[in-house]
Amino acid sequence: MVVEVLFPNNPAETWINVQTCTIVPSVQEVIVLHTAPIRADLLRRREDGAWPDNPEPVLAGDLVLQCIGLRTPPQDFDCNFPLHPGTAA
């Protein structure tokens, strides 16, 4: 599993990182956590080993991470943390 945080100022870089992660054979799920508005996008490798063309948006309800057996709403992930002490994300 890989988790990427998408801040409003770096979406292109985040999606490039996501594409790179899908090359790793052991990665089964990639979660992109959005900071504004808070939501998640989920990419899950299919049984045939291929990745879906588009992520599954999780706007309401629970984000289900099969690889670790976790079910939680995306709002439980607080991504609005400072990058360095004294700075805002």
For 6-34, how does the pLDDT look when each residue is reduced to its tens digit (9 = 90+)?
A: 878 888 998 899 999 999 999 999 999 88
- The number of angstroms, rounded, from the C-alpha of 31 to the middle of its chain's C-alpha atoms is 2
Do residues 58 and 42 make contact, with C-beta atoms less than 8 angstroms apart?
yes
Element at 81 (helix H, strand E): none
pTM of the shown model: 0.74
Say how far apart CA 55 and CA 83 lie, in whole Å: 26
